[in-house]
């Protein structure tokens, strides 16, 4: 047995193993082109073709490859042809929320809020580009120097964003936000401390009573998780229309119509954005409109919908505090070039939004509902009054430890809840919330909106 043969069997020569895989991959493509046929459409057919090519290679080179290595080579080639290539094992890991490819030699993952460097590698920059080109071309998109960045949706619902030079000097960079089927239950979120029972009871009453709610927070703070949870309290006799850039919501409701934005073609035309979809939802006899995330001038149309009879609508927005939510909604609405003065936009926000829920992801990856606030509009001024807050337990002697800020408790501020009067008029029993607010005793924190 020669030295190279021993290296292959022992698995110590990874580069040589990759060269064999690339060689067989190329031979498979060449053989299909010579025959004038399409690639086999089943994994079993491809595996048989690869096995035959592997036998030829061993006969020609004198290198012996054992059965397990042959199966691994066949599996990798199948992934190269129609799967996720080197990222296939990562896509099967349900604990990962993001996969980050920083060039061919560096692949990171976000596992429960923590970044980890993985041993996964691409062969070279050309291998990584072929991988990305195959995924985006399936959706009619492309990458080149004239279009050096692209967004695409993978077959499992995950979102892919890729950037190439000249925008990124280090080579191709790929970010994949995983789409995961939400399996977290109400009881699990309560046990994890994500939210408290009184907070959830108040929010469920707000949803059933038709109040408009904005869920705010940073990336991966749990906004979609909470939105899915709150959708369970929407009465089953109501029609819900969801509007999303990429379909992610998994609402537990019997009557849901999902609308998804459409990107433009290669020339940048033909796209349909969230603003057009919100307007479409208004014509679909929706009782409630749920916008997955607002980030542009569609905010103005959403506020109009909330003000003209679509009570109980929900949306999410990126913001760092309840006060920032109002400022961000105002700025986004003004982007719509409606010609309305700032004061009119503020009046729209004050009459449209009743509840703001702020989420936070701590540095160890744990997520909490940081506060539940109501929107107060007085004499043309907007503010938020905090009803519940999460108070973390700080460890003074070890402030840099990763678990120092995760423990804590949700507390009622004792502030009066103005929207309870509206819910009472709609026939809901709010006596328990009035008592709990009185027992809390504190004055609520009111944050003005400048």
Give backbone dihedrals phi and psi of 213, rounded to 5 degrees, phi first.
-125, 135
CA 345/CA 101 separation, integer angstroms: 41
The second-level CATH assignment, the architecture, of 87-177 is: 2-Layer Sandwich (3.30)
**The pLDDT value given to residue 404:** 47
User: At a CB cut-off of 8 Å and minimum separation 6, what does 253 contact?
Assistant: 231, 232, 234, 236, 240
* H helix and E strand count, the chain: 15, 16
Query: Could you tell me if 311 and 212 are in contact, meaning their C-beta atoms sit under 8 angstroms apart?
Result: yes
**The pLDDT value given to residue 68:** 73
CA 443/CA 261 separation, integer angstroms: 44
Q: Fill in the DSSP letter of residue 232.
A: G
**Class of domain 186-449 (CATH, top level):** alpha beta
Domain boundaries, the chain: 3-82, 87-177, 186-449
CA 414/CA 207 separation, integer angstroms: 21
**Which residues of the chain carry a pLDDT beneath 70?**
1-18, 21, 24-47, 50, 59, 62, 70, 73-83, 180-183, 264-269, 394-406, 434-450
Residues across the chain: 450
**The pLDDT value given to residue 192:** 87
Q: Is the pTM of this model over 0.85?
A: no
SS3 content of the chain, % helix, strand, coil (to 5): 40, 20, 40
**28: Cα within 13 Å, side-chain hemisphere:** 26
**The pLDDT value given to residue 10:** 42
Element (H, E) at 406: none
**337: Cα within 13 Å, side-chain hemisphere:** 0
Give backbone dihedrals phi and psi of 107, rounded to 5 degrees, phi first.
-125, 120
């Amino acid at each position: 047995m020669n030295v190279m043969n021993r290296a292959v069997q022992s698995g110590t020569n990874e580069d040589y193993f990759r060269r064999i895989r690339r060689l067989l991959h190329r031979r498979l493509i060449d053989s299909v082109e010579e025959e004038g046929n399409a690639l086999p459409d089943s994994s079993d057919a491809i595996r048989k073709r690869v096995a035959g090519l592997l036998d030829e290679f061993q006969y020609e080179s004198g290198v012996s490859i054992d059965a397990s290595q042959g199966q691994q080579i066949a599996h990798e080639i199948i992934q190269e042809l129609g799967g996720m290539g080197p990222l296939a094992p990562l896509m099967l890991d349900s604990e990962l929320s993001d996969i980050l490819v920083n060039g061919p030699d560096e692949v990171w993952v976000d596992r429960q809020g923590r970044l980890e460097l993985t041993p996964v590698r691409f062969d070279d920059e050309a291998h990584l580009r072929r991988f990305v080109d195959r995924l985006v071309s399936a959706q009619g998109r492309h990458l080149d120097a004239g279009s050096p960045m692209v967004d695409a949706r993978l077959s499992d619902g995950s979102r892919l964003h890729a950037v190439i030079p000249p925008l990124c000097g280090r080579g191709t960079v790929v970010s994949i936000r995983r789409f995961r089927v939400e399996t977290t239950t109400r009881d699990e979120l309560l046990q994890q401390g994500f939210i408290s029972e009184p907070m959830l009871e108040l929010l469920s009453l707000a949803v059933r009573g038709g109040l408009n709610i904005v869920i705010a927070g940073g990336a991966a703070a749990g906004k979609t998780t909470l939105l899915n949870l709150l959708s369970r309290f929407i009465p089953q006799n109501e029609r819900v229309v969801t509007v999303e850039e990429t379909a992610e919501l998994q609402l537990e409701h019997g009557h849901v119509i999902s609308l998804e934005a459409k990107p433009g073609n290669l020339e940048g035309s033909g796209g349909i954005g969230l603003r057009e979809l919100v307007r479409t939802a208004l014509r679909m006899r929706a009782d409630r409109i749920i916008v997955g995330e607002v980030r542009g001038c569609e905010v103005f149309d959403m506020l109009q919908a909330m003000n003209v009879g679509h009570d109980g609508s929900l949306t999410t927005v990126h913001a760092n505090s309840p006060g920032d939510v109002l400022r961000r909604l105002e700025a986004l609405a003004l982007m719509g070039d409606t010609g309305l003065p700032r004061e009119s936009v503020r009046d729209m926000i004050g009459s449209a939004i009743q509840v703001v829920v702020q989420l936070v992801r701590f540095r160890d990856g744990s997520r909490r509902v940081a506060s539940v606030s109501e929107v107060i509009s007085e004499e043309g001024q907007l503010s938020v009054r905090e009803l519940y807050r999460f108070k973390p337990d700080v460890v003074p002697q070890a402030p840099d430890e990763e678990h120092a800020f995760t423990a804590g408790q949700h507390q009622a501020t004792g502030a009066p809840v103005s929207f309870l009067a509206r819910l009472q008029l709609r026939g809901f029993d709010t006596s328990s919330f009035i008592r709990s607010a009185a027992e809390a005793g504190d004055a609520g924190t009111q944050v003005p909106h400048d």
